[in-house]
Amino acid sequence: MIAENLFDLFQRYLELAYDGEQHLLKELPKLIEVVSSSHLREGWERSLELTKIHIERLEQIFSRMDRAAATETNHAIRALTNETEKLIKHIDRSPLLDTALIVVNNEIAHNKIVLYGVLASLARLQGMRQISPQLELSLADEKSTDAEFTEMAVSTVNPEAVGFQNSPHGVVII
Ligand SMILES: [Fe+2]
């Protein structure tokens, strides 16, 4: 039985968020390593710091609930980070790769916006007055990250990718 009541559902989403954030803590440095745009690099460095804060917030919430911090595998986020690995493998380090990585970055942000949105709402409904503001803060962070990366894509990163031609790995073009 996955959930018998709203509290069980709340805990399940909390565990999915915790797993997603933990996973991103390992994945974000890979993006920082391959990114070409310095703005984007700084954006991902800020995301990495926020991810650490979000993990701490989730751990505080588990502890307020008198539960050990636990994870439920977040398959959606893992599928998206598999996609980033594929992109990194098949597209040269370039504005084109940056553009592709922002798309996946924002898909990941949307997953977290849904999770923190439902968590904040369920916490409010269940009268968890010390917990819901923490979740609202993380929700606001995820929304502003999404907006910030969209703005970077539209204003600088995507235009730089116009006209870029990726060369297949291992093929030397003379
Ligand atoms: Fe986060």
User: Does residue 42 sit in helix, strand or coil?
Assistant: helix
Model confidence at 167, in pLDDT bands (50, 70, 90)?
confident
Q: How far is the CA of 103 from the centre of ligand 1 (A)?
A: 16
In tens, the pLDDT along 124-162 reads 999 999 999 999 999 999 999 999 999 999 999 999 999
Q: How far is the CA of 146 from the centre of ligand 1 (A)?
A: 11
Model confidence at 65, in pLDDT bands (50, 70, 90)?
very high
Q: How far is the CA of 114 from the centre of ligand 1 (A)?
A: 12
| Consecutive H or E run containing 87 | helix 75-90
Percentage of the chain surpassing pLDDT 70? 96
What are the respective helix, strand and coil percentages of the chain, to the nearest 5? 75, 0, 25
Q: How far is the CA of 115 from the centre of ligand 1 (A)?
A: 10
Q: How far is the CA of 162 from the centre of ligand 1 (A)?
A: 30
> Looking at residue 172, what is its pLDDT?
42
What is the pTM for the complete model shown? Answer: 0.92
Distance separating alpha carbons of residues 99 and 101, to the nearest angstrom: 6
Q: How far is the CA of 141 from the centre of ligand 1 (A)?
A: 7
Chain Cα centroid distance, residue 2:
24
Q: How far is the CA of 14 from the centre of ligand 1 (A)?
A: 12
Q: How far is the CA of 15 from the centre of ligand 1 (A)?
A: 13
* Neighbouring C-beta atoms of residue 40, cutoff 10 Å: 23
In tens, the pLDDT along 104-125 reads 999 999 999 999 999 999 999 9
126-150: string of b/e by CB count within 10 Å (b at 16+)?
Answer: eebeebbebbbebbebbbebbeebe
Q: Would you list the DSSP string of 7-35?
A: HHHHHHHHHHHHHHHHHHHHHHHHHHHH-
Q: How far is the CA of 138 from the centre of ligand 1 (A)?
A: 7
